[in-house]
């Protein structure tokens, strides 16, 4: 799960695309930094300390995959998502050889990039990051991020992986309205197949049936009209 101060560095030579991605990612809670090329990339990473790098393959004066490879050779382990052409077989090989964590083929929907950013960050942070977080209590419930379990008065409540992801997204962003699109990215379950806004609404309804005394008048998971949902402990 990502906090509102997660920083991204987007490196692309297309100024219109850079600005579009900055506006989109900033709206979804990120602090997005921009660069037109990979010149002094290591210095920029040291200076800005981004949490993830979005790197175009085709850059003036160099290949983004080569820049990624050099970062890895220098011992830099920042998560990297390459923006590439649509030849998936070739790009998978390039990604593996360059040491990138994922890739998105152009042209792409910004929602796909957002989902992949969330997935990469979630994998990179993993259980070791979650164990730093104290359990959260609300009403008779306790949610433990380290075990990814919800319990009610000591009894574990059974939830699907997607529902746990969704509850975790809401709890970790307590008090902050989250759009369906943002929740879709945060709660992405790679084994759940295609997801959409309606799937989020259905998952919210299921969670409310579990944790709310009256799902029609929710206390914990509130609807924020025109935006999405908010967890209010």
Closest CA to 113 of 13, 20, 201: 20
**228: part of which helix (H) or strand (E)?**
strand 228-231
Separation CA 183–CA 89 (nearest Å): 30
Please check the confidence at residue 53 and state whether its pLDDT lies above 50.
yes
Q: How confident is the model over 175-184, as a mean pLDDT?
A: 82
List, for residues 199-223, the tens digit of each pLDDT value.
888 889 999 999 999 999 999 999 9
Q: What is the dihedral of CA 87, 92, 95, 96, to 10 degrees?
A: -160
Range in 13-22, 82-91, 213-222 the model is least confident about: 82-91
Q: What is the pLDDT of residue 128?
A: 45
Where does the pLDDT of residue 105 fall: very low under 50, low under 70, confident under 90, or very high at 90 and above?
Answer: confident
Q: What is the pLDDT of residue 2?
A: 46
Dig out the tokens for 217 from the structure: 């008048």
Cα separations (Å) of 46 from 78, 121, 209, 233? 11, 19, 47, 37
In the chain, where the domains are located: 7-126, 133-231
Where does the pLDDT of residue 96 fall: very low under 50, low under 70, confident under 90, or very high at 90 and above?
Answer: low
Q: What is the pLDDT of residue 222?
A: 92
Q: How confident is the model over 82-86, as a mean pLDDT?
A: 77
The matching CATH number, chosen from 1.10.10.10, 3.40.50.720, 3.40.1180.10, 3.30.1300.10, for 133-231 is: 1.10.10.10
Where does the pLDDT of residue 95 fall: very low under 50, low under 70, confident under 90, or very high at 90 and above?
Answer: low
56 in Cβ contact with 91 (< 8 Å): no
**CATH of span 7-126:** 3.40.50.2300
Separation CA 168–CA 186 (nearest Å): 9
Q: How confident is the model over 25-40, as a mean pLDDT?
A: 88
- Beta strand ranges found along 106-208 (DSSP E): 136-138, 141-144, 149-152, 155-157, 178-179
Range in 79-88, 106-115, 187-196 the model is least confident about: 187-196
Q: What is the DSSP letter of 137?
A: E
Mean pLDDT of the chain: 81
Please check the confidence at residue 89 and state whether its pLDDT lies above 60.
no
First to last CA, the chain: 18
54 in Cβ contact with 83 (< 8 Å): yes
């Amino acid at each position: 799960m990502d906090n509102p101060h997660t920083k991204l560095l987007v490196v692309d030579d297309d100024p219109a695309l850079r600005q579009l991605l900055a506006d989109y990612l900033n709206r979804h809670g990120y602090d997005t930094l921009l660069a037109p090329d990979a010149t002094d990339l290591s210095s920029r990473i040291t200076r800005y300390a981004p949490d993830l790098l979005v790197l175009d393959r085709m850059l003036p004066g160099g290949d983004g995959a080569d820049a990624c490879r050099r970062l890895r050779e220098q011992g830099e382990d920042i998560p990297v998502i390459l923006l590439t052409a649509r030849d998936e077989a070739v790009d998978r090989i390039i990604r593996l050889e360059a040491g990138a964590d994922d890739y998105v083929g152009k042209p792409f929907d910004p929602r796909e990039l957002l989902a992949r950013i969330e997935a990469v960050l979630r994998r990179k942070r993993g259980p070791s990051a979650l164990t730093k977080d104290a359990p959260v209590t609300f009403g008779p419930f306790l949610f433990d991020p380290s075990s990814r379990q919800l319990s009610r008065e000591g009894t574990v409540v059974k939830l699907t992986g997607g529902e746990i992801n969704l509850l975790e997204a809401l709890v970790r962003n307590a008090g902050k309205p989250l759009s369906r699109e943002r929740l879709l990215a945060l709660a992405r379950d790679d084994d759940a197949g295609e997801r959409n806004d309606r799937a989020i609404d259905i998952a919210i309804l299921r969670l409310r049936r579990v944790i709310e005394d009256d799902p029609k008048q929710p206390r914990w998971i509130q609807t924020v009209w025109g935006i999405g949902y908010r967890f209010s402990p």
